[in-house]
Structure 1
Amino acid sequence: MGVIERLPARLLLALAGGLCLWLSFPDNNLAYLAIVGVALVGISMWDVSPRTGALLGLVAGVACFLPTLSWSGIFVGKFPWFALALTEGLYLAAMGAVLAVVQRPLLRAGRLLPAALLIPVLWVLQEWIRGSLPYGGFPWARIAFSQADTPFAQWAAIGGAPLITFVVALIAVPLVLLAVTRRLPVVAVVVALVSGLGAFAVPVPTSGESTARIGLVQGNVPRAGLDFNAERRKVLDNHVAGTEALAERYDDLDLVIWPENSSDIDPLRNDDAKEQVQRALAAVDIPIIIGAILDEPAPAVSNASLLYEPGGGEPQRYVKQHPVPFAEYVPNREFYRLFSSKVDLVRVGFAKGDRNVAFPVQGREGDFTAVPTICFEVAYDGLMRSAVKDAEAKGVPSLLVVQTNNATFGYSAESTQQYAISRIRAIEHGRSVAHVSTVGVSGFINPDGSSTPTTELFTAAQPVDNVVLRSGLTISDRLGPWVEWGSALLLLIAVAWRLRRSRTGRVESRSTDDRSTAQIEEASTGA
C-alpha cells in the first residue's frame, strides 16, 4: 500500500471518507459520493490493528455526523450537537475495530475479496445497531437515506433501507481492492455492476387501485426555535386559516392533513381549541387528521395524531410509539444533567404509544386507510413495516402519512433529510406518502419515490394532489430484516473461520514443537 500504510495518511483518508458521506446527504445532494466515502474509509482501515481501526472509524464518523447533524445544535447549543455526533461516530469506531479483527486473518491467508466484502456486511450491521441502541437508537444519516435520487433507491422494495446501504458499500469494494492491491478482480467488478445495474430491474409500482384527493396544511409558526409554539393559539389559528383557504379553492377533497404540533392546545380538553378544530371541519366538511399534544396520561403528555370526521363524535387517535430521547423525554435525567442543564428544557415527558393505527377514510373512489407516523418515527424500519402490515390487514388501499414539525431546526437540512427518508419509505412499502410539516418541507411522494414540488421553509402553504392508493405487500415487507440477519450470518461465518484458523495454527505450532523435541531427544540418545 506504500504511503497509505502510514497512520497520518490513513487518518486523512478516513476524514475525507466521512466528509464524502456527509456531502451525499441533502442539502448537498451529491449522492454518488457515498460510494467514494465508503471506499475511502475501507481503504484507510485495510489491514490495521483493532485499535487503529477504531480510531479511523471514529474520525470518519465524526467527519460525517458533525456536519450532517449540525441542525441538532441550532437552538440548544453546541454541546448536545457534538455529543450526538460523537456518539454516532462511536458506532463507526466499533465497526473499524471489528473489521480489523475479522479481516486480518483473511488477508494473511490471501483471501482479499472475502476480506473486502466484509466492508458492506459490517456497514449494514453498524447501521442496524446504531438504529436500535441505546434508547431505541437513532437511525438518522444512514447511507440509504442519501440515495433517494439514485437508481439504488429501488432496492428498497426488496430489502428496505439496509439493502440500499449494502449495495452502495458493495459497489465501493472494487475501488478498495484497486487501491490496496493495484489489481481489480473480475469477480468484484461483476458483483458491483450487477448490484448497481440490477436496481433498474427492480419492479417499482407507479399506479394503484384508486386515487384520493388530499390537501395538506402547512400553517407556519410565529417564529423558529424552541419556543416556536409560544403562541400556541396562533399556530392553531394558522392551520384553521389554511384549511379554510383549501375549502375556498377546492370542493372535491377526500381528506385534509395537518402536521405534528398543529394544535399544542389539547383539543379534547380545551373548549377553545375544540371550537377551532370544529370550525375547520365545518369549512371543508371532510375528515381532517391533526397533530395534537394531549394532556394525558398525567403527569405525562402524548404526541398524538387525531382523525376528526364531520358530524362530531370522539376522534380516533394514534399516539407516537417512539418518543425521541432528550427531546420528548429525558432518560436518566440526573446523570445527563451533570453534562448539560439543557435536559431540563424537557419539563414534561411524553408517553409512549402501544399500537399501530390505520385511520379509515371514505373517499370518492372508495374506502382507504391513512397510516399515521409522527416525525422521527419515519426513520425506524421495524415500526414502519409493522404499521404497513397492520394496515394491509384492513383489506383496503392505504396511504402513509408523515406528520412532522421542523420549526425547532430552523433553516437547515433536517427538513430535506427527513423528506428523503419518506421517499425511501414510499419505495420500500409501495405506498404513496403525504409528508406534512408545520413549516416545511411538505409534499406528496408517489409509490416509486418520485415527488411533487415541495413547499418552502417557514411559509404558509396548502398543497393538493391526487394521490395513488395501493394495497399489497412488497418483498421487503414480507421478508422483514433479512439483510441485517444475512449480514450477521456472514459475520459469524467470518468469525468462525478466524477461530478455526487460530486453532489450526496452534495445533500446527504444537506439532512442530513436539517434532523438534523428539529430534533433540533422539540426537541426545544417539550421542
Structure 2
Amino acid sequence: MTVTATSVDRSDRPAPVRAARSRGARLRRLVPAAAAALSGVLLYVSFPPRTLWWLALPAFAVLGLVLRGRSWKAGLGLGYLFGLGFLLPLLVWTGVEVGSVPWLALSAVEALFVALVGAGIAAVSRLPAWPLWAAAVWTAGEAARARVPFGGFPWGKIAFGQADGVFLPLAAVGGTPVLGFAVVLCGLGLGEAARLLLRRRRPDPVPVRRGAAVAALLSVAVPVVAAVAARPLVSDAAEDGTATVAVIQGNVPRLGLDFNSQRRAVLDYHARETERLAAEIKAGRTPRPDFVLWPENSSDVDPFAYPDAAYVIGEAARSVGVPISVGSVVERDGRLYNEQILWDPHKGPVQTYDKRRIQPFGEYLPLRSLVGAVNSDWTSMVHQDFSAGRKPGVFTVGHTRIGLTTCYEAAFDGVVRDTVTHGAQMISVPSNNATFDRSEMTYQQLAMSRVRAVEHSRTVTVPVTSGVSAIILPDGTITQKTGMFVADHLVQKVPLRSSLTPATRLGALPELALVLVAAGGLGWAVGAGVRRRRGTEEEQA
C-alpha cells in the first residue's frame, strides 16, 4: 500500500473556530509591542521623584528579551514603542503652560533615537556576549541624542535616574556614559540569564552553551562589582577647607510663564528673603555666610540698565555683608544674555558669567518662521533670541572658586566638567523652574545635580526661584532642601575640593570608547548577516 502526504484541509472547520484562532494569532503578535511599550513605562517609573532606581533593570531585561533575535526593522518599531513609553510620561512637563503639541513633538522626535537603538540592539543580539554590544549601542544612542538636533537634548539619560542607586559611584569613574552603560548592561544581562534559565527548565530542555551562560552572569556581576570597587572615589572630605554658603529661594508671585511679566516683584522677593537672612545673622541665629547664591532669573530687570534694580541688589548685598551671585537678563550691543553677576556689597558687579548652553524653543527659537506658523503665541513669548556665552563660569570669592552651570546646562557633561577643569572647588546650578509649575521636572533636574556631585566630587548648590532648592555634598547626599513655591533660605558649611576624579580627567573618552565598541559590534553583526545570506544563496543555487 502506498501512502502519500497530503496537506490538511482546514476549510471544513467551523467559522467561529477559525476566527478565534485568527484573533489569537493577532493578539500574540501584539505581545512584543505591548511588552516594549510597558517596559518603557517601567523605565520612566524608575526616575525621580520616585526612588525606584532598580526598576531600570527589569525594564532593560524585558527590552532585551523582546528585541533578541529579531530583524532590525522589527527592532526599529519595538524600540520606538519603548521610547514613547519612556519619554512621553517623562517629558510631560514640557507641555505645562504651552500646551500638548510641544510635548508630543519633542517626545516623538526623541523616541526616534531610541528606535535606532532598538534596531541596533536587534542587530547585535545574535553576537556572542550580546548584552555587552547592546549596552554600548544604547550609550551611543544617548551620545547622539545629547548632541543633535539643535545642540542635543540629554534629558532622560539613564544615569540621571540613578542618583539613589548602587551604581552611582561609577559616575566618578567615567561620568554619565559609564554609569548608564553599567545599568543597561546589568539589566540586559538579567534578561539573558532569565532566558537561558527558562530554556533549561522547559519540559524538553534546550542545551545552553557554557559561554552564553558565563557571558550573561558576567553582564550582571561586573557592573555591580565595579560599582562597589568605585566607592572609595566618593568622598566629602574638605580638601581645601570649607565655605559657608547661603542659598536664597525668593519664590514668584504666580505660577507659569507669566511670572516673567512680574520681573520686579521676583527681584523684590529675593531681596526680601536675603534681608530676612541678614536679620537672622544679626540676631545670632544663623552664621554669616561667605557668599550668597540667588537663582537664575532672580533679577530679570537688567541692573546695568535700570538703576532701581541695581539699588535693590546693592542694598541686599550690604544687608548681608557678603557678595551675592545674581541671575539676571542683560542686554549688550543689542543681544540678550542669561547672566550670572557677582555683586560685591561695596564694589557692585565684579564678575559675570553668560550661560553658554541656551535652551532651544525656550531661550531661542530655531525655525522661527515655521514655529510662528504653528503657534504665534510661542514666537511672542520668545520675541528675542538669547545669545550664548563663550567662557566657562568660575567666580572667585575669597578663597573659594565657584563653578556655574545655569539650569539647563546641568544636563550637558562637557559644560559641567569645564567649570571643574577651570578650577571650581564647588558647583552652583542656579535655576528657574517656575514655568513648569509643580511638575516632576524640578526633581529630575535635582537628580542630575546629585549625579554631577559624585561625578566630579564637588559640593553642588541648587538655588531655584520657586524650588526645590538644595545643598548637595560631594557624595550625592542632599543635606538641606526647600519646599516648592515658598520663600526660604539655606545656610551650611560645605567642603571645598580640588582633586579630580577619573571621570573629570577623562572627559569624553569613556563615551567615545563605548561608541567605538558599539560601532564594532554593529560592524560585526552586519558582516555576519551578509555572510549568512551569501551562504543561503549558495545552498539554494
TM-score (norm 2): 0.88
Paired with 1:145 and 1:334, the residues of 2 have a C-alpha distance of 34
Query: Corresponding residue for 1:429?
Result: 456
Which string of whole-angstrom CA distances, capped at 9 and with x for unpartnered residues, describes residues 369-396 of structure 1?
A: 011111110010011112210125xxxx
Match of 1:409 in 2: 436
Report the more deviating stretch, 318-327 or 188-197. 188-197
Please state how far the C-alpha of 1:342 moved relative to its aligned partner.
4.1
- Secondary structure of the 1:470 match is coil
**Pairing 1:212–2:243 present:** yes
Equivalence map 1:265-304=2 (5 Å): 265-298=301-334, 300-304=335-339
Indicate conservation of the 8 Å contact 1:297/1:351, yes or no: no
Matching residue of 1:521:
none
| Distance in 2 of aligned mates of 1:254 and 1:450 | 22
3-state secondary structure, aligned to 1:141: coil
Contact 2:139 / 2:180 at 8 angstroms: preserved in 1?
Answer: yes
What is the deviation of 1:185? 1.3
Provide the secondary structure at the position in 1 that maps to 2:429. strand
Q: Structure 1 counterpart of 2:465, which letter? A: T
Counterpart Cα distance in 1 of 2:140 and 2:270: 42
Which residue in 2 is equivalent to 1:395?
Answer: none
Which region of structure 1 is more displaced relative to structure 2, 30-39 or 308-317?
308-317
Query: Amino acid of the residue matched to residue 255 of structure 1?
Result: F
Pairs within 5 Å for 1:445-484 = 445-484=472-511
Alignment partner of 1:238 is 2:266:
no
Q: Which residue of structure 1 lines up, in the alignment, with residue 56 of structure 2?
A: 34
For 2:522 and 2:448, locate their aligned partners in 1 and report how far apart those are by CA, in whole Å. 33
Distance 2:66 2:225 in 1: 27
- Measured in 2, the distance between the counterparts of 1:13 and 1:382 equals 35
> Match for 1:309: what amino acid?
D
Does residue 385 (structure 1) correspond to residue 408 (structure 2)? The answer is no
Q: Deviations over 1:319-360 (max 9, x none)?
A: 000110000000111123343334312111101000102111
Q: Does 1:144 align with 2:145?
A: no
> Which residues of 2 match residues 2-401 of structure 1 at below 5 A?
6-104=28-126, 106=127, 111=128, 114-181=129-196, 182=198, 185-202=213-230, 203=232, 204-208=234-238, 209-250=240-281, 252-298=288-334, 300-344=335-379, 345-362=381-398, 367-391=399-423, 398-401=425-428
Q: What is the CA–CA distance in structure 1 between the aligned matches of 2:130 and 2:119, rounded to whole Å?
A: 14
Q: Cα 1:125–1:5, aligned 2, differ >3 Å: closer, same or farther?
A: farther
Please give the alpha-carbon distance, in whole angstroms, between the structure 1 residues aligned to 2:369 and 2:224.
49
Aligned-residue offset at 1:197: 3.5
User: Which whole-Å deviations, capped at 9, do the CAs of 1:56-100 have from their partners, x for residues lacking one?
Assistant: 111111111111111111110011111111111111111112223
My pick for the range that moved more, 179-188 or 37-46, is: 179-188
Q: Does residue 439 of the first structure (1) align with residue 439 of the second (2)? A: no
**1:222–1:462: structure 2 CA closer, same or farther, 3 Å change rule?**
same
Contact 1:205/1:448 (<8 A) preserved:
yes
| Structure 2 unaligned regions, length at least 5 | 1-24, 200-211, 282-286
Closer/same/farther in 2, CA of residues 138 and 510 from structure 1, 3 Å limit:
closer
Confirm or deny: 8 A CA contact 2:58 2:191 kept in the other structure.
Answer: no
Q: Does 2:445 align with 1:418?
A: yes
SS in 2 for 1:221: coil
Deviation for aligned residue 1:234: 0.9
Indicate which of 475, 483, 486 corresponds to 2:513.
486
Percent identity over the alignment?
Answer: 37
Decide whether the 8 Å contact of 1:442 with 1:454 is kept in 2: yes
Q: Distance in 2 between matches of 1:150 and 1:10?
A: 29
How many residue pairs get aligned? The number is 496
For residues 534 and 246 of structure 2, what CA distance do their matches in structure 1 show?
A: 72
Q: Secondary structure at the match of 1:347?
A: coil
Tell me which moved more, 418-427 or 199-208: 199-208
Are the structure 2 counterparts of residues 502 and 21 from structure 1 closer, same or farther at C-alpha, using a change threshold of 3 Å? closer
Shift of 1:173: 2.3
Structure 1 CA distance, aligned partners of 2:252 and 2:530?
65
Query: Match for 2:482: what amino acid?
Result: T
Distance 1:169 1:269, change over 3 A: same
Distance 1:16 1:200, change over 3 A: same
Q: AA paired with 1:176?
A: G
RMSD over equivalenced CA pairs, Å: 2.1
- 1:522 counterpart residue number: none
Compared CA separation, residues 119 and 255, structure 1 to 2 (3 A): same
CA pair 5-193 structure 1, distance change in 2 beyond 3 A: farther
Report deviation, 1:229.
2.7
Kept in 1, the 8 Å contact 2:173–2:455? The answer is yes
- Counterpart Cα distance in 1 of 2:57 and 2:453: 23
Letter in 1 for 2:496: L
* 1:80-131 Cα shifts (integer Å, max 9, x gaps): 1111111111111111122233434x3xxxx3xx223222111111111111
Deviates more, 1:67-76 or 1:173-182: 173-182
Contact 1:357 1:391 in 2 (8 A): no
Which runs of 4 or more aligned residues in structure 1 lie more than 4 Å from their structure 2 counterparts after TM superposition?
3-6, 502-513
Given the two structures, how large is their TM-score scaled by the length of structure 1?
0.90
Q: Is the 8 A contact 1:261 1:405 kept in 2?
A: yes
Read off the aligned partner of 2:329 and give its amino acid letter.
Answer: I
Separation of aligned partners in 1, 2:269 and 2:448 = 27
**How far apart, in 1, do the equivalents of 2:528 and 2:118 lie?**
21
